[in-house]
Amino acid sequence: MSSQPSVTLNDGSVIPQLGFGVFKVPPEDTRDVVLAALEAGYRHIDTAQMYGNEAGVGAAIRASGIPRDEIYVTTKLNNDKHGYDTARWACEGSLQRLKLSYVDLFLIHWPMPLRKDYVQTWTALEWVKADGGATSIGVSNFQPAHLTRLLDETETVPAVNQIELHPNFPQAELRALHTEHNIATEAWSPLARGALLDDPSITGLAEKCGKTPAQVVLRWHLQLGNVVIPKSVTPERIVSNTQIVDFELDDDDMAIMKGLDNGTRIGPHPNDMN
């Protein structure tokens, strides 16, 4: 993989802009799939307590022989682990499963707004960062109202908000809010789980650029400034999804991509996830 771009977070640490997601990668396959990704050149892995495969991610890192500080590791707090003490212990559980002494980024997976405890949970993540369990802390699936409460009521601005984001759902309002507060935007389901890869606008751009539809979509993310974490268990896709730095979408191409916004989510609305 030729040299990949990175994003500097608001706490000064640096995240590779392209990462590898492992949602729905079966735990028993995770070591080999992540090892294939590391061999393909990814240096950023995105897991979560919910995925049940943190142990496989840690095993792949150890098996790769790549120095720990050259691999960026994100995990996420499970929805049933909110609350100050529970969240602090839950991070320790992740470190034990990963067999790591720290993660690079620890996220609150969902705000779970009806529980009314995401502010308190965020203060637990502040403790985890101060204690050295995570280099950076952030959130996922936070809506503008949830971010505003953290900004108003706590000391630390999240480094990242990881949100559903793809050409059908480009999240312009949240991206603008992130820019205003220096929060990095990280895109989950960046390929809309494959749903938009046969869209004629995208296949047309792929033909024009001599690239695959997935490469066009991932390139669009890079040009928006998003951190992007495509998932694949298919060896050739794991490799081809990294080949996105040797071409560029021009203004007309970006305008075509903008036209794909139809407001369609593929995942749950964060306010309904409780």
Ligand X SMILES: NC(=O)c1ccc[n+]([C@@H]2O[C@H](COP(=O)([O-])OP(=O)(O)OC[C@H]3O[C@@H](n4cnc5c(N)ncnc54)[C@H](OP(=O)(O)O)[C@@H]3O)[C@@H](O)[C@H]2O)c1
Interacting residues toward ligand X by CB under 6 A: 21-23, 46, 109, 140-141, 162, 188-194, 197, 212, 214, 229-234, 237, 240-241, 267
51 is catalytic: yes
Q: Quick one: 28 or 152, whose CB is closer to ligand X?
A: 28
Tell me if 238 sits within 8 A of 36, measured CB to CB. yes
Tell me if 57 sits within 8 A of 38, measured CB to CB. no
Identified catalytic residue from 51, 72, 102, 118: 51
Tell me if 191 sits within 8 A of 214, measured CB to CB. yes
Q: From 54, 127, 45, select the one nearest 84 (Cα to Cα).
A: 127
β-pairing verdict for 14-16 and 20-21: unpaired
Tell me if 128 sits within 8 A of 136, measured CB to CB. no
Q: Whole-number minimum distance, CB 246 to ligand X, in Å? A: 16
Tell me if 160 sits within 8 A of 227, measured CB to CB. yes
Q: Whole-number minimum distance, CB 230 to ligand X, in Å? A: 4
Q: Quick one: 141 or 156, whose CB is closer to ligand X?
A: 141
Q: Whole-number minimum distance, CB 257 to ligand X, in Å? A: 15
Q: Quick one: 5 or 194, whose CB is closer to ligand X?
A: 194
Task: Tell me the residue type at 181.
Answer: H
Q: Whole-number minimum distance, CB 179 to ligand X, in Å? A: 20
Q: Return the percent helix, strand and coil in the chain, to nearest 5.
A: 45, 15, 35
Q: Quick one: 83 or 267, whose CB is closer to ligand X?
A: 267
Instruction: Name the residue with the smallest CB distance to ligand X.
Output: 21
Distances 111 to 150, 185, 207 between C-alpha atoms, Å: 11, 16, 40
Q: Looking at the annotation, which residues are catalytic?
A: 51
